[in-house]
């Protein structure tokens, strides 16, 4: 079996207050995919009612401006994101809010992985450092630089 050279696969769960998208997030997502930096494998937007009923929203005009917001991603489902995952994601937000669940490949890493394999190397681990940990570490460095100045 030939192993495909793929980049790391990541996920995001994004809370959408009032189930209304606003701002440039969608444009940034489209830009990342258009430039080949990431490839969307799954994208689902869902809500949970107070009784626990989960509704998967049709990818449509989520911000109410008359334009189809996520048409480029309509029907994007790889099978990696299952019903249990959607239920867990929807449970993270309150009634009336939505959660966007996104699984994506970091395609920028594919050529690097391929080049390393050509010389006999293999990626043996990957992981994520939580953004809050990075921000905290950078804040500590900034505070240290200010006190030394």
Is 1 a domain residue? Answer: no
Using CB atoms within 10 A of its CB, is residue 37 exposed (0-12), middle (13-18) or buried (19+)? Answer: middle
Is 132 a domain residue? Answer: no
Is 116 a domain residue? Answer: no
Nearest 10 degrees: CA dihedral of 45, 49, 54, 57? -30
Is 60 a domain residue? Answer: yes
Is 135 a domain residue? Answer: no
Total of domains in the chain: 1
Range of the domain at 38: 9-108
Is 149 a domain residue? Answer: no
Count Cα atoms within 13 angstroms, Cβ side, for 39: 12
From first to last of its 149 residues, the chain has per-residue pLDDT tens of 245 677 888 999 999 888 877 667 777 888 898 899 999 999 888 988 888 788 887 665 555 555 555 566 666 778 899 999 999 999 999 988 999 999 999 998 888 888 988 999 988 888 888 888 999 999 999 888 777 76
By the 8 A CB rule, do 6 and 80 touch?
Answer: no
Count Cα atoms within 13 angstroms, Cβ side, for 28: 5
């Amino acid at each position: 079996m030939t192993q495909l050279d793929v980049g790391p696969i990541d996920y995001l769960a994004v809370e959408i207050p009032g189930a209304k998208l606003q701002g440039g997030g969608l444009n940034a997502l489209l830009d990342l995919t258009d430039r080949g930096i990431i490839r969307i494998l799954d994208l689902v937007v869902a809500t949970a009612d107070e009784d626990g009923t989960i509704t998967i929203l049709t990818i449509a005009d989520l911000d109410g401006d008359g334009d189809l917001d996520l048409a480029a991603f309509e029907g994007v489902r790889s099978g990696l994101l299952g019903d249990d995952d959607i239920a867990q994601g929807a449970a993270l937000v309150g009634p009336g809010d939505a959660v966007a669940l996104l699984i994506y490949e970091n395609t920028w890493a594919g050529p690097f992985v391929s080049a390393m394999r050509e010389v006999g190397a293999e990626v043996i681990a990957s992981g994520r450092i939580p953004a809050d940990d990075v921000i905290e570490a950078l804040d500590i460095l900034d505070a240290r630089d200010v006190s030394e100045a």
